[in-house]
Amino acid sequence: DIDHLNLRVQKELVEWLNWLKADIGFDGWRFDFAKGYSAVVAKIYIDRSEPSFAVAEIWTSLAYGGDGKPNLNQDQHRQELVNWVDKVGGKGPATTFDFTTKGILNVAVEGELWRLRGTDGKAPGMIGWWPAKAVTFVDNHDTGSTQHMWPFPSDRVMQGYAYILTHPGTPCIFYDHFFDWGLKEEIDRLVSVRTRHGIHSESKLQIIEADADLYLAEIDGKVIVKLGPRYDVGNLIPGGFKVAAHGNDYAVW
């Protein structure tokens, strides 16, 4: 165990971080198992090393109902993520992985897309509250891959990417999906749409529909994304929009 309250430990870790920046070229940090030490400690390392980006892994369980599925309201879960950023310093480079969005997406793509509209009409994850500080993802080395601890439904992974790559927040692409699953071209097309239209972490999200078999949203008035098997959505797509990417149960205009 490391005693992060020990001043010598703090000094040596800060020196190491600054060496990684100056000599090796790293410019951002990932705080693994950030529940294991206080946000006050993380703030010390961030403030004294000044990375351009920092993201924390705060993985806690969602709130579940008697049916074994997540409750619609996950405010307590995303509040914990927001609180960490607040304590570290909201004006700085600190962000957190949006585990709230990950958990809701896991279930939503299995015929419950209504979950993607929160009770306030906004996105139900951290991106609905503080998208600039939310790093979205479909899977990572813990949840997917060989550990398989909380995997996204494997046949619906591209729906997950269609969501995070068109929505606010800072999307993160999983190595396995991109290089090992044969999804590189499909993911690349979505990245191109995001880049071409300037979608960013604080883009404006307007949810048009959120039913069991259809999720439809417009981002910055430039991009429209559809998830789900329903195809008769032509009447909901404004004139001038053309399909830019599509795949199994998703499309982007």
Q: Which residue numbers are catalytic?
A: 32, 57
Phi, psi angle pair for 139, to nearest 5°: -150, 160
Burial pattern 61-80, b for ≥16 Cβ within 10 A else e, equals: ebeeeeeeebeeebbebbeb
Burial pattern 87-111, b for ≥16 Cβ within 10 A else e, equals: ebeeeebbbbbbbbbbbbbbebbee
Query: Cβ–Cβ contacts within 10 Å for residue 179, how many?
Result: 11
- d(Cα 232, Cα 199) in Å, to the nearest integer? 26
- d(Cα 129, Cα 116) in Å, to the nearest integer? 14
Structure tokens at 203: 């883009």
Structure tokens at 197: 């239209």
Q: With beta carbons less than 8 A apart as the criterion, state whether 117 and 167 touch.
A: no
Q: Which residue(s) pair with 210 in the sheet? A: 215
